[in-house]
Amino acid sequence: MKNFVNLNVNPCNMCMPMGAAGVFKGIEGTMVLMHGSQGCSTYIRRHIATHYNEPIDIASSSLNEKGTVYGGSENLKKALKNVIKLYGPKVIGVTTTCLAETIGEDIRRIIDEFFLEEKIVGVECVAVSSPGYGGSHYRGHYYTARKVLEHFAKTGGKSDKINVIVGCMSPGDIRHLKEILDLYELEYTLFPDISETLDGGYHREYDRLPEGGTPVAELKAMGKARATIEFGAMVSEADSPGEYLKAAFGVPLYRLPLPVGIEHTDQLMETLTILSGRDMPEKLEKERARFLDAMIDSHKYSAEGHLSVFGDPESVYAITALGLENGFKMCVAGSGPASEKLIPALKALETEYGTVFIKLEDTDFETIAGHVTETGTDLLVGSSDGAFMTEKYGIPLIRTGFPVHDRIGAQRKIMIGYFGSMQLLDEMTNTVLAEKHDHFRKHLFTEYGQAKEG
């Protein structure tokens, strides 16, 4: 769904290893190593670093011409050795990038050889084949999470815990989600958990491998859980980590959309009630009531807004729902990453709210921007990559999702749950209000005042 057939003009997505890196950053004591050329890891580090404002050490096997011609096993082995020496990780997440994949590297074999040769114990190594051309960062996230579980979760059984598999949520969102789970007094394993690793505090001693992340022991036990909640309603079954646990060990799976907006959050709460046997805790009841009250307070203002949303399929779907719930005129919902489920899901929203808007997946910013201007959008919600539309057309942008390069604090922004949805909704409505208040005198004068004089 692009204006050009053979070109992507101004990408609205990133590549698979980016998603893989995010997952590995959510496992305790893990160092990421990309098998391929030096550039990929450096780009990805740069992107992550400006978004989270945290040091991001990702190693590369720095494949060069020689390695490319004769195979990269020497480079990869050296890299593993050096990573162990410099970082002493518990886990090494090895991903491929385009180069290694194109020359047909068998990374599992190389890794196993290395561990035998060097007699290394006490380090786990997960291998994921994630060429950039294989898909978006979005797909890379779920695909890698699935591969990690295939590696660690090898047995079924019984435990009281539930699994919570998160998609591309901010560390702030994840911390908030944990609070919600705690209120239901559930025992859970949350994966991948970047809530501390990518949004850590200042400490006297800097730790190269920051604290936090899902512990390996917990990953290993995920096949035993009594249920899985997976935030990923737009991802294919084949890439879904929860589907793996379900197929392999019969763990019941609840696949939910991002809990943004009242309906999606209700859906989460209902699921938590089923799993915990508890009614909605009083604190959340109050948050829900307050959110609904906020929606009523702002519905007339938001209804004046013409909203376009872009980003990955989950956030596009969820924020579109939030907007529609409160009466925004929906203009464009565009996902850079491909997703077969997105368009049908958006169509269902159209039917539910009796409206039509532009729906795009596997698209680029050139296409999105074209529709944004055509439809008279006056409010954008998405990553900072869309900021050029503010610069060019003067349309305000509320920054959410990944990446946000030009503002501080994206890593702690909360948009999930009743509380987070309310914050985002307020921000959206206020932007519409600000535009109106800043310009209404001038508009009215141009419209009527001038005419009178003439």
Partner 1 sequence: MNINLLEERKNSVMCNARDDARHIECGKNSAAGSVSQRACVYCGARVVLNPITDAYHIVHGPIGCSAYTWDIRGSLSSGSEVYRNSFSTDLREKDIIFGGEKKLAAAIDEIAETYSPKVIFVYSTCVVGIIGDDIDAVCKSAEERTGVRVIPVRSTGFAGNKASGYRAACDAIMDLIGDAERPEKPSGINFLGDFNLAGEMWIVKSYLTQIGITINTAITGDSSYESLKRAPGAELNIVQCAGSMHYLARLMEEKFGIPFISVSFCGVEDTSASLRTIAKLVGDSETIAKTEAFITEKAEEAERLIAPYRKRLSGKHAAIYVGGGFKAISLIKQFNDLGIKTVVVGTQTGREEEYETIKSLTDEGTIILDDSNPFELEAFIKEKKADILVGGVKERPLAYKLGVAFLDHNHERKHPLGGFVGALNFAEEADLSLLSPVWRHVKKDRGETDEKLCQLEC
With binding defined as CB under 8 A, does residue 75 bind partner 1? yes
Given 70, 88, 102, 155, the residue binding partner 1 (CB under 8 A): 102
Longest dimension (CA), the chain: 90
CB of 39 or CB of 344, closer to partner 1: 39
Answer whether 181's CB lies under 8 Å from 231's CB: no
Binding mask 119-158 for ligand SF4 (x = CB under 6 A): -------------x--------------------------
Given 18, 91, 149, 331, the residue binding partner 1 (CB under 8 A): 18
Interface with partner 1 in residues 120-159 (CB under 8 A): 131-134, 136
**Residue 324 Cα to chain centre, angstroms:** 21
CB of 101 or CB of 325, closer to ligand SF4: 101
Q: Output the smallest distance, CB 220 to ligand SF4, in A.
A: 29
| Bond into 403 cis (ω within 30) | yes
Nearest to 302 by CA among 393, 387, 379: 379
CB of 97 or CB of 189, closer to ligand SF4: 97
How many other CB atoms are there within 10 angstroms of residue 377's CB atom? 24
| Residue in this structure with the two tokens 């009466």, named with its chain if needed | 327
Q: Out of partner 1, ligand SF4, none, which partner does residue 7 contact, by CB within 5 to 8 A per kind?
A: partner 1
Q: What is the DSSP letter of 274?
A: H
CB of 374 or CB of 406, closer to partner 1: 406
With binding defined as CB under 8 A, does residue 86 bind partner 1? yes
Given 20, 21, 23, 63, the residue binding partner 1 (CB under 8 A): 63
Identity of the amino acid at 370: G
Query: Phi then psi for 128, rounded to 5 degrees?
Result: -130, 130
CB of 135 or CB of 223, closer to partner 1: 135
Query: Phi then psi for 416, rounded to 5 degrees?
Result: -100, 165
CB of 11 or CB of 156, closer to ligand SF4: 11
Given 1, 10, 43, 405, the residue binding ligand SF4 (CB under 6 A): 43
CB of 46 or CB of 392, closer to ligand SF4: 46
**Total residues interacting with ligand SF4, rule: CB under 6 A:** 7
Nearest to 167 by CA among 141, 186, 147, 185: 141
The span of 92-100, 182-190, 220-228, 230-238 binding partner 1 (CB under 8 A) equals: 92-100
Identity of the amino acid at 410: A
- How far is residue 103's CA from residue 36's CA, in Å, rounded to a whole number? 10
Helix axes 107-118, 73-87, angle to 10 degrees: 60
Residues in the chain: 454
CB-nearest residue to ligand SF4 = 132
Environment class of 185 (CB within 10 Å of its CB; exposed 0-12, middle 13-18, buried 19+): exposed
- How far is residue 91's CA from residue 64's CA, in Å, rounded to a whole number? 26
Interface with ligand SF4 in residues 246-285 (CB under 6 A): none
Q: What is the DSSP letter of 29?
A: T
Q: Out of ligand SF4, partner 1, none, which partner does residue 65 contact, by CB within 5 to 8 A per kind?
A: partner 1
Q: Output the smallest distance, CB 45 to ligand SF4, in A.
A: 11
Nearest to 58 by CA among 91, 103, 93: 93
Q: Are strands 91-96 and 306-311 parallel, antiparallel or unpaired?
A: unpaired
**Total residues interacting with partner 1, rule: CB under 8 A:** 75
With binding defined as CB under 8 A, does residue 14 bind partner 1? yes
Q: Output the smallest distance, CB 92 to partner 1, in A.
A: 10
Interface with ligand SF4 in residues 87-116 (CB under 6 A): 97-98
CB of 98 or CB of 233, closer to partner 1: 98
Interface with partner 1 in residues 25-44 (CB under 8 A): 33, 36-44
Answer whether 196's CB lies under 8 Å from 211's CB: yes
Given 13, 17, 153, 181, the residue binding ligand SF4 (CB under 6 A): 17
CB of 335 or CB of 421, closer to partner 1: 335
How many other CB atoms are there within 10 angstroms of residue 371's CB atom? 20
Binding mask 201-230 for partner 1 (x = CB under 8 A): -x-x-x-x----------------------
Interface with partner 1 in residues 338-397 (CB under 8 A): 366, 385, 388
Environment class of 209 (CB within 10 Å of its CB; exposed 0-12, middle 13-18, buried 19+): middle
- How far is residue 11's CA from residue 369's CA, in Å, rounded to a whole number? 12
Given 90, 108, 175, 405, the residue binding partner 1 (CB under 8 A): 405
